[in-house]
Structure 1
């Protein structure tokens, strides 16, 4: 299933071909086949290359064939895409559930995902060739997806079924302020609050302990302590009439 084939049938717009290539590449898929597109040279069309945005290699390896039968050569399991279930034909599935079931088989099949024309979708004949119909769960009052959007959603669901990719998380390089630094900040801030008349030292009303708890929850960094002490310093300058 890593080598799943994405097949676009009678595609009209070059931009959708490029956007499809991009959607495939970000999810780690590379096998793109076009069946009788509107323009025979669509893979080298300027708009297709522009919309591929870094996935030009997918376009370079893609193939254009004349019939769906040619496009399905070597495929074991075919999934058609349709917005609504058909009265006759293969069963309709939610994509993620079906992909997970296929990936769990002892020997996962070589998969093909079929996408119809932007103008009229998939023909009944093409749907009848398929083992399953995929219906992306959408709002019941409006389920129309752009071609490349549909490709992106299915490519994502398929990648998740295959284990997904790890998130490239970046851990910020921060130095947490120690308890002594926080206490120094509190003392400085207390003096500044008294200077501007916000804190009455004769009736503090637990203001400073509450700020202490706030700073503890925030887990201040050393840089943040410096910033807050700088603010306290400016408060004191203003209250004394000194130039900032």
Structure 2
């Protein structure tokens, strides 16, 4: 007799659509295959299927017996997990990303709770396309560089006396909150569509476009003498935080890159080809 709790659903074959197909769950350098399998199960119970593994610590993580056992029926999600070498690869093509962290960062986007963050996720995915939810390694979490690469930051407000959530548990919390947000957004969108009042948003820049902008801007600041590459301090980190708060549109990225290009041309150091 099974003791598992099954998620209630009005349709055993619920079609995946909208945010359910546009959301990537990214695990950075996961250490334990059992956690990967459990994360796959957590996603499937909430209607998600896109799992990305960044440089997992064990070879053939998807076929590891512990991973398969913990997937417990979510073998399709586990087998379909995309394995990439870097977080940049995992975020390629996304237009918004959320870094999950358990500790306060001096630099980076201001943190929010999962419930606050998923409201932004629902707005971004509804108007602009793929987004990503990023989780760190079980022991060390996400590096500062990984956090700075994401658009927003959130933490789960667990019991401060014992706040250690298992990786798969954290994935389950976010998948649940996202499910509620996407279902609510779908109902609201259907009502707006019926009324002929669906707003059109400007396309956001992709993660890779924004990273190229930062390279271009950094080169321009060095050319101006405003940034000392030997002693950069936290200038680029602060600029990343500033731009992350704004939700950069594609045209805005092009404007910043145009400014950087003109600075480099005036200084005789046009590095546009390097920044592409």
TM (normalized to structure 2)?
0.57
CA contact (8 A) 2:53 2:84 kept: yes
Q: What is residue 85 of structure 1 aligned with on the other side?
A: 104
Q: Which segments of 5 or more consecutive residues in structure 2 lack a partner in the other structure?
A: 1-18, 185-276
Distance between the aligned counterparts of 1:47 and 1:102, measured in 2?
32
Which is greater in Rg? 1
1:10-25 maps to which residues of 2 (within 5 A)? Answer: 10-25=29-44
Matched, 1:6 2:25: yes
Q: Identify the residue that residue 130 of structure 1 maps to in structure 2.
A: 150
Q: Is the 8 A contact 2:36 2:67 kept in 1?
A: yes
The separation in 2 between residues aligned to 1:79 and 1:38, in whole angstroms, is: 22
The alpha-carbon deviation at position 94 of structure 1 amounts to 0.9
* Runs of 5+ unmatched residues, structure 1: 165-244
Q: CA deviation at 1:141?
A: 2.1
Q: Superposition pairs for residues 47-126 of structure 1, below 5 Å?
A: 47-104=66-123, 107-126=127-146
Tell me the residue number matched to 2:236: none
How far has the Cα of 1:40 moved from its partner?
Answer: 2.2
The runs of at least 4 consecutive aligned structure 1 residues that moved more than 2 Å come to none
What's the CA shift for 1:109?
Answer: 4.3
Provide the C-alpha distance between the structure 2 equivalents of 1:108 and 1:91, rounded to a whole number of angstroms. 22
What are the within-5 Å matches in structure 2 for residues 165-184 of structure 1? none
**Aligned 8 A contact 2:99 2:135 in 1:** yes
User: Equivalent of 2:182, from 154, 162, 186?
Assistant: 162
C-alpha distance after superposition, 1:160-213 (max 9, x if no partner): 11127xxxxxxxxxxxxxxxxxxxxxxxxxxxxxxxxxxxxxxxxxxxxxxxxx
Question: What SS does the aligned partner of 2:127 have?
Answer: coil
- Alpha-carbon shift at residue 43 of structure 1 (Å): 0.4
Residue-by-residue CA offset, 1:101-138 (whole Å, 9 max, x unaligned): 33246615421011111121111110110111111111
Specify whether residues 66 and 101 from structure 1 end up closer, same or farther in structure 2 by C-alpha distance, changes over 3 A only: closer
SS at the partner of 1:107?
helix
Q: Secondary structure at the match of 1:28?
A: coil
Q: Deviations over 1:68-93 (max 9, x none)?
A: 11111121111111112211111101
Quote the Cα distance in structure 2 between the aligned partners of 1:75 and 1:40: 26
Q: Tell whether 2:152 aligns with 1:140.
A: no
Matches within 5 A, 1:232-243: none
Pick aligned residue for 2:52 from 12, 21, 33? 33
Length, aligned pairs only = 164
Alignment RMSD (CA, Å): 1.4
**Is the Cα–Cα contact under 8 Å of residues 102 and 108 in structure 1 kept in the other structure?**
no
Cα distance between partner residues in 2 of 1:162 and 1:136: 19
- Check conservation: 1:9, 1:36, Cα contact below 8 A: yes
Q: Find the aligned partners of 1:101 and 1:44 in 2 and give their Cα distance.
A: 34
Establish whether residue 42 from structure 1 lines up as the match of residue 61 from structure 2: yes
